[in-house]
Amino acid sequence: MKYFVLGSTYVVRLDAGERIVETLAALCERDAIGGGFFNGLGAVSEAEIGHFDPAAKAYSWIALSGPLEIVSLYGNITKVDAKPFIHAHIALGDKEFAVRGGHLKEAVVSVTCEVTLTRFRDDIGRTKDEATGFSKLALEPGRD
């Protein structure tokens, strides 16, 4: 992984074999990023994506492999249990150009992955919501 910082924006390149969520979390940890968001494109060789079932309060997962284009990737960064937490959704295209997508658990970069990430000055937290079992953004109405 290599990156370049321009003000509050990071341009990040992930290389073959790197895991997207793990690598972005490590970058955030290193630079003390506890709030932000990112978009990305590129290609992966493997991915695990999930679909949340509100009735079961749990994700179902699918493991995908083969050359897959990252058709879209968007996520946010929060700080959970004193560590950066990546929440991202992804659309992946196969060689027939069919697209599957959902919640990104993890994906392994094949050729390259190019991400632009904007960091916030402040950390954003999450709070476990008992009704859904989901950790929601902990936001108090605030203003700069």
Query: Residue 130, interface with a second copy (CB under 8 A)?
Result: no
Task: State how far the alpha carbon of 115 is from the alpha carbons of 29, 101, 126, in Å.
Answer: 17, 18, 23
For a second copy, how many residues bind (rule: CB under 8 A)? 73
Bridge partners (DSSP) listed for residue 11: 4, 116
Map tokens 């916030």 to a residue.
120
Q: How far is the CB of 32 from a second copy (least distance, A)?
A: 13
- Kindly list the distances between the CA atom of residue 108 and the CA atoms of 43, 44, 141, in Å, as whole numbers in the listed order: 9, 5, 37
Of residues 29, 53, 65, 128, which one binds a second copy by CB under 8 A?
A: 53
CB-based contacts of 127, cutoff 8 Å, min separation 6: 135, 136, 138
Residue pair 144/120 in contact (Cβ under 8 Å)? The answer is no
- Which of 60, 65, 83, 128: binder of a second copy (CB under 8 A)? 60
> Which of 49, 80, 107, 108 is the binder for a second copy (CB under 8 A)?
49
Q: Minimum distance from CB of 49 to a second copy (Å)?
A: 6
Taking CB under 8 A as the criterion, the residue among 26, 87, 105, 106 binding a second copy is: 87
| Contact track, a second copy, 66-85, x by CB under 8 A | -x-xxxxxxxx---------
Listed in sequence order, the residues at least 6 apart from 138 whose beta carbon sits closer than 8 Å to its beta carbon are 124, 125, 126, 127
Would you count residue 20 as binding a second copy (CB under 8 A)? no
114 binds a second copy (CB under 8 A): yes
